[in-house]
Structure 1
Amino acid sequence: MRFALSAVLLLFAAACSSGGDAPQEEVMVSPILTTEDAKDPASFAQPEVARVTHVDLDLALDFESRSVSGTATLDVLADPDADTIVLDSKGLQISAITNEDGADVPFTVGETVEGKGEPVTVTIGDARQITVAYTAPDSAALQWLSPEQTAGGEHPYLLSQGQPTLNRTWIPTQDSPGIRQSWEARITAPKPLTVVMSGLSVGEPEDVGDDRRAFRFSMTKPVAPYLIAIAAGDLEFRELGPRTGVWSEPAMIDAAAAELEDTEAMVEAAEELYGPYRWGRYDMIVLPPSFPYGGMENPVMTFLTPTFIAGDKSLTGLVAHELAHSWSGNLVTNANWSDSWLNEGITSYFENRIVEKVYGKKRAEQEAALSFAGMEEAIAENGSDAMITALHLPPEEATPDGGSSGIIYDKGATFMRTVEKIVEREKFDAWLRQWFDSHAFQPATSALLLEDMRANLVQGDKELEEKLQLDAWVYEPGLPDNVARPAESAFAEVDRAASAYEDDGTLNPELWGGWTTAERQRFLARLPRELSAAKLAELDSKLGLSETGNNEIRFAWLELALENRYEPAVPQAEQFLSTVGRTKFVRPLFKALVDQGAWGRPIAERIYADTRSGYHAVTQGAVDKVMGRDG
C-alpha cells in the first residue's frame, strides 16, 4: 500500500451533492481493502494509487441509434504523487477527457482483453476531477426494446443490467465492487417516456426542448459500480406503503401491485432482524419479460422480472431476497468475485428469515429445504472434492460469472444456518446485525468475515471454534460433517406422494391442488427423470402443468417434458421461450433440447433463431454457450 487511502473513512460535506432541489447531504467516501485477497483481477483499476469516489453522469438516451452519449465527471482520490488513473471500459467511444479547468488531458485506450474490455489510462497530473465525453453505441448492459416487445405496444423501452461487470459498457469508471462510488445523474429522454434509476429522484422532470425531458437522480451513499441502473419507458407508479412502491407499464400495474402488497411488511421484518433500512425508499420496477434475472437489488429501485407474478404471492421470496440485499451485498459488498457468496449466500439466509416472519415457519422451512437440495445437486454434479464447491472460489473459478448458484447461494445460506443452529438464533442474530453495522458501506472478503466472526461470535471459545469448522466451510470443498440439515417434516407428505407415483403410478390431483408452490416444485423434482409419453400426458392432464400461471412450475414441467422428447411440449416450450427472457428458465430449456441430439437440436436452432434478438446480452451469452456459438 503506497499511502493511507484505504485506512480512513472520509466525509465530504456536500462536495458531490446533486444539483436542483437535492438536499445538501454529506457524501461518504468508502474505504478500500488492499489485502491480496481483496484485489479484483476482473478490473484494470489500481485503486491503491488512484480511485474514483463519485460519478456525475449527464447523458442522452437515443432510441433510434440505441446508444447513450454525454459525459461522466469523475471525482478522484489519489496518492499525492500519482499522475495517472486507470478506468475500465468495454467498447466505449471516448472523444475527449478534460480536467476541472476544461483543458484536455492525455489518455490512452489499451488493447482489448477478453472478458475485461480495454484499460483507459488517463494522465491526470494534479487534477482530481476529470470529465469523460463519450458514446456507448453497443452496450451489453443496456437492452433497447421496440414498442412491439413491450406490454403496451406503443412506446420503446430501455433497461439495464450491470452486474457483474457490464456497467463498463456504458459508464467509464472503475468497475469493481470493491471501489464504491456515490453518483448523480441527469438523463434526457424523448417524451412521453419516464426514466427511473437506482438513486433517489431529484425534483420534477424538466422540458429541455426537442420534445425531450430531463430527469435527475442522486445516490449519496457509496455503492458498488454495478449497482448503477436505469430503465425508461411508458411507466406508471403505484404506492404500496409510506416508503415502498412499484413502477411498471400501465398494463401490468394492477397485477404487480397486488403481488407486491406485502413489501412494506417485509421491510419492517428485515429491520426487526438486522437493523434500520438505510437507503430511504424501497421501490421496485417490474420490467418486461426480457429481463435476464429474477431480480436485481439496485438500491432504492429493485428490478424485477414479471415471471414472479403468480397471482398468489407464492414466488415473493424473490422480493424478500432482493430486499435482503439492501444489507447483504449493497451495504456490505464482496470486494471481488471470488467471494460472491458473501453477497448471495448471506442474502439467501436473510431472505428465508424474512419469509418466516411474513409468511410463517412452514413456508420458510420448505423453501430452505429446496435450497438445500439445490446445494446437494451442485455438489453431486461437480464432485465433493472439486474446489468449485468451496465458498471462496479458487482463481480459475473466481471470474465475474464463475461459480455455481447451488454453492454461492445455497451452500452460503446453509453455512449461515449451520452457525445459527450451533450458537443459537439470538446470539447469531446479534452477531450478524453487528457485522452489517460495523462494515456498512464497505467491501469485505471471506477472511474479513471469518476474522469478525471469531472476534465477535466465537470470542476465544476453543470448543465453539471446533464445532463451527469455519475454515472448512469457506475454503474447503464439499460439506463439513456439522451441516444443519432441513427439517425432515418439511416435505414428508410430498415425498410419500412422489414415492407412490414412482412405485405404482399413483397420482392424486386433490393433494396437488392443496399444495404450496414449494411442495409442487419438490414433487416434480422427485419424479422419475425418464417417463413415457403416456405418463407425461397423464401428468399434464391431471395436474394442469401446461396451463399453470406459475412460471416456476411451468418451467419444471417443460424441462422434464423436453428431456423425454415429449412432442406436445414443443409448442408450449416455443411459446414460453418467445415470451420469457429470464436466463434461469431459458438456458436450461435450450440445454434440454440440445442434449436430445438429432431430435432436439434442430428444434433448439429453429426457436433460437427467432428468439435470440429479444433476449438481453446476459441470456444470449448463456445460451450461445449451450448452442456452441461462444468464440
Structure 2
Amino acid sequence: MLKNLFFATGVVLLFAGCFSKPEQVASTLKVVDPKEWVDEHTLSNADSVAVRHLHLDIAVDMVNRQISGNALWTINNNHHQKELILDTYDLTIDSVMVDGHLAGYQLDSPIKFLGSALHIPINENTKFVMVHYKTGPRARALQWLDPQQTHDKRAPFLYTQSESIYARSWIPCPDGPGIRFTYTARVTVPQGLMALMSAENSDVVNDTGVYNFRMPIPIPAYLMALAVGDLAFKGIDDRTGVYAEKGMIDKARWEFENVGRMVGSAEQLYGAYRWGRYDVVVLPPGFPIGGMENPKLTFLTPTIIAGDRSLVSLVAHELAHSWSGNLVTNATWNDFWLNEGFTNYFERRIMEQMMGESYSDMLWELGYQDLQNEVMALGADSRDTWLKLDLKGRDPDDGLNSIPYEKGCHFLKMIEKAASRDRFDKFLVKYFDANAFRTITTETFLNYMDTVLIKKDTVLRKALNIDEWVYGPGIPANCPRARQELFSKVDAERTKFLSGMPAEQIAFVNWSAHEWLHFLRGMPDTLRADKMVLLDRAFNFSTTGNSELADEWYLIAIRANYRPAYPAMERFLSTVGRRKFLEPLYIQMMKTPEGQEMARKLYTRYKENYHPLAQESLDRIVLKLP
C-alpha cells in the first residue's frame, strides 16, 4: 500500500527538476502528516521501492484479443526492501527476471476491485525487474472491437481506458495516481493498423506494424493509454492535430478547427503548455466517457462531433487537464476534486475567453443543475457529497460523479469571487508552477492556499467557509450562481409553449445547443404526448445529431411513453457507449414494468457494443447484478 508522502513529493521531484523550477514559496508548505496519506487502491509498495522508468515491449493480437509481452521496470531500492510489489488484474504471469536472471514470484488471490498483488524478490542492489505476461479476458481497461463496431467497418479496433485503477489490467504496474514514472514502448500490431499512445506519436502508418514510443515526463499509470486501429491524421496547426478513422477524419478535422486557439487561450490564463504536442484521437462510439486526458493525446468520444462545433467545450476540459491532473496530480482518489474541479473551472475560463461571458454562464448554470441533481440523488447529508471523499473498500469509480467536478469548480468560483479574479488568477499561476509534476493531497492544497493566497486576510478566510465546502455535505449557502441572461429568455419561451403557444412560434433564432438543452431540462416530468408531437414536428428532436440533446429528449420520451421516439432511441443506444448517456436512459426505463422489458431487450441486444466498464454499471442497473 502507498503509505506516505515521501514517494510522491520526493522521488517525483528528481524528475520534475528537469522540467520546472518551483517557486520559492513551495518551501513554505505545511507538511501533511504521512499517516494521513494512504492510497487504499494500490497493493504496490511504491512508497518504499521507487519505480523510475517502464519499458514496454508488447504485441497486440487482434484475433485472440490479447496483449502479451514484457514490462521492464527500472527501480531504486534505497530502503533495502526484500520485494517489489506490483498491481495486476486478470493478468497471466509467464515469468519474472530480476537483473537478467530468472526469479521466483508470488501472485496473490484477487481482491475485489483491486486485483492481485504480484510479489517479486529483490535485494538492495536490484536495478531491473522484467515481467513477462499476457492480458486476460476480463481486462477492465480494454475494449476490443470487431470491424462492424467501428465507424468505417473495415478493421478491428482496440483502445484502453486506464482511469481510475485499470492500467493494472493491461500492465503489471504500481497503479496509483501518486506514483509517477517515465516510459518507452515498442508495440507490434497487425500490418496496416496504426498504434498510438500517450506519448510521442507517429502520424503515418508503419508498414512493419512496429511502433516505438517515448514519454520523457513522469506520469501516473492511469494516464497510460493505447489505441490501435485503421487511423489517419490531419494537422490543425504546428502543435495540434487530430487522429480518426479515415471515413471520419475530415469531419473531425473541421469540428476541431479551434483546438489550436484553445491551447493559446489556456496558456494566456495559466502559463505555458508543457507537454510538447497536443493531439486528439476520435475513438469508436463504444468509448465509455466523454474524453480522457491522456498526455499529448486526448481520447475523445465521437458523440461530441455534432457538425456545428457546439460540443467542443469537452475538448477544452481535456486540454485543461494538461495543467490540473496531468501537471499537478491528486495523491489519491479521495482527492479527485483536485483533478476534476480545477479542470472544470479552467475549462469554463477557456470558453469564456474564446466565446464570451454569456456563453460560459450557460456552462456554469448547466453544471449547477448537474450538482443539484447529484446532491438530490445521493442525499443532502451524504458523506459522498464531501469534496474530500472516503472511498476505502470501494471502487474508486464510485467517486466519478458530479461532486468532484461541479462542487469542486463552484468552490473555486466562490474563491475567485471572494478574493477577486485578478488575485485568484495570479495565485493559480503560482500554484501550477510551484506544484508542476508533483502529487498533492487536499490538505496540501489548502495549506498552500492559506500560505500564498489567504495569508493574514482573516476576512477572506472567514468568507471562504472552507471546512463546509471540503469536509461537509451538500451545497454550501455561499455557492455562486451564474447570471441567467440567456437562459431567462429560454425559460420565457418554454413557459409560453407550455401555456399553448405553437412550437413554431418559439423564438429560438441563434440558440446554441446549451440553450436547447436548458429548454428541454426545464420541461415537466410528465410532458403530454401532444406537446411531444408538436416539438418533434417543429424541431426533429428524435433524429437530432446532437448527442446531448438526443439523450435529454429520449429521457422525456420514456417518461411520456412517446413511442415515435423509440426507434431513434434504439439506434442511439446501439451505437453510443458513453456512460453519461447510457445510465440515465436505462435507469429511466427500469422505473416501469413496460420500460424494464424494453431495457432488458435493448441491453441484451447491444451489450457487446459497450465498454467493459459501461457493462459493469449497466449489469447492476438492468440485470440487478451485485
The equivalent of 1:89 in structure 2 is 88
Match of 1:267 among 260, 263, 270: 263
The equivalent of 2:489 in structure 1 is 493
375-384 or 502-511, which moves further after superposition? Answer: 502-511
Does residue 169 of structure 1 match 2:164?
no
Cα distance between partner residues in 1 of 2:383 and 2:42: 23
Match of 2:419 among 415, 419, 423: 423
The equivalent of 1:136 in structure 2 is 135
375-384 or 233-242, which moves further after superposition? Answer: 375-384
| CA positional deviation for 1:5 | 4.7
Match of 1:617 among 612, 618, 625: 612
| CA positional deviation for 1:254 | 0.8
Letter of the structure 2 residue corresponding to residue 129 of structure 1: F
8 A Cα contact 1:502 1:528, kept in partner: no
- In structure 2, the CA distance between the partners of 1:518 and 1:509, relative to structure 1 (3 Å rule), is farther
The equivalent of 2:575 in structure 1 is 579
Cα distance between partner residues in 2 of 1:3 and 1:78: 17
- In structure 2, the CA distance between the partners of 1:144 and 1:34, relative to structure 1 (3 Å rule), is farther
Instruction: Kindly provide the CA deviation profile for residues 227-252 of structure 1, in whole angstroms up to 9, marking residues without a partner as x.
Output: 01011111110000110000001100
Instruction: Kindly provide the CA deviation profile for residues 463-516 of structure 1, in whole angstroms up to 9, marking residues without a partner as x.
Output: 111011112211111222222111132411011122333444653554234311
Q: How many residue pairs get matched?
A: 614
The equivalent of 1:17 in structure 2 is none
Does residue 319 of structure 1 match 2:315?
yes
The equivalent of 2:295 in structure 1 is 299
The equivalent of 1:71 in structure 2 is 70
8 A Cα contact 1:90 1:117, kept in partner: yes
Matches within 5 A, 1:494-513: 494-504=490-500, 507-513=503-509
The equivalent of 1:39 in structure 2 is 38
TM-score (norm 1): 0.93
The equivalent of 2:463 in structure 1 is 467
| CA positional deviation for 1:299 | 0.4
- In structure 2, the CA distance between the partners of 1:505 and 1:394, relative to structure 1 (3 Å rule), is farther
8 A Cα contact 1:6 1:33, kept in partner: no
| CA positional deviation for 1:628 | 3.0
Instruction: Kindly provide the CA deviation profile for residues 441-468 of structure 1, in whole angstroms up to 9, marking residues without a partner as x.
Output: 1111111111111000001211111011
The equivalent of 1:184 in structure 2 is 184
Cα distance between partner residues in 1 of 2:343 and 2:407: 12
Q: Secondary structure at the match of 1:144?
A: strand
| CA positional deviation for 1:352 | 0.2
Q: Secondary structure at the match of 1:8?
A: helix
Cα distance between partner residues in 2 of 1:403 and 1:69: 31
Letter of the structure 1 residue corresponding to residue 10 of structure 2: V
Instruction: Kindly provide the CA deviation profile for residues 350-383 of structure 1, in whole angstroms up to 9, marking residues without a partner as x.
Output: 0000001112211111111111111122222323
150-159 or 297-306, which moves further after superposition? Answer: 150-159
Matches within 5 A, 1:128-527: 128-138=127-137, 139-201=139-201, 212-395=208-391, 399-403=395-399, 405-504=401-500, 507-527=503-523
| CA positional deviation for 1:394 | 2.6
Cα distance between partner residues in 2 of 1:10 and 1:579: 41
8 A Cα contact 1:284 1:302, kept in partner: yes
- In structure 2, the CA distance between the partners of 1:555 and 1:334, relative to structure 1 (3 Å rule), is same
The equivalent of 1:21 in structure 2 is none
- In structure 2, the CA distance between the partners of 1:440 and 1:55, relative to structure 1 (3 Å rule), is same
Does residue 589 of structure 1 match 2:589?
no
Q: Secondary structure at the match of 2:102?
A: coil
- In structure 2, the CA distance between the partners of 1:13 and 1:331, relative to structure 1 (3 Å rule), is closer
Cα distance between partner residues in 2 of 1:298 and 1:404: 17
Q: Secondary structure at the match of 1:511?
A: coil
8 A Cα contact 1:141 1:170, kept in partner: yes
Q: Secondary structure at the match of 1:497?
A: helix
| CA positional deviation for 1:76 | 1.6
The equivalent of 2:112 in structure 1 is 114
Cα distance between partner residues in 1 of 2:7 and 2:152: 50
Instruction: Kindly provide the CA deviation profile for residues 537-593 of structure 1, in whole angstroms up to 9, marking residues without a partner as x.
Output: 122112210121111111110111012222222212111101111111112111111
TM-score (norm 2): 0.94
Cα distance between partner residues in 2 of 1:318 and 1:187: 29
8 A Cα contact 2:200 2:214, kept in partner: yes
Cα distance between partner residues in 1 of 2:209 and 2:109: 37
- In structure 2, the CA distance between the partners of 1:233 and 1:519, relative to structure 1 (3 Å rule), is same
| CA positional deviation for 1:51 | 3.3
- In structure 2, the CA distance between the partners of 1:475 and 1:2, relative to structure 1 (3 Å rule), is closer
Cα distance between partner residues in 2 of 1:465 and 1:187: 52
| CA positional deviation for 1:106 | 2.0
Cα distance between partner residues in 1 of 2:488 and 2:249: 38
| CA positional deviation for 1:203 | 10
Cα RMSD for the two superposed structures: 2.4
Cα distance between partner residues in 1 of 2:32 and 2:215: 22
Structure 2 residue ranges without an equivalent (≥5): none
Cα distance between partner residues in 2 of 1:424 and 1:287: 40
Letter of the structure 2 residue corresponding to residue 558 of structure 1: Y
Letter of the structure 2 residue corresponding to residue 627 of structure 1: V
The equivalent of 2:600 in structure 1 is 605
| CA positional deviation for 1:435 | 1.0
Letter of the structure 1 residue corresponding to residue 289 of structure 2: Y
8 A Cα contact 1:3 1:79, kept in partner: no
8 A Cα contact 1:132 1:172, kept in partner: yes
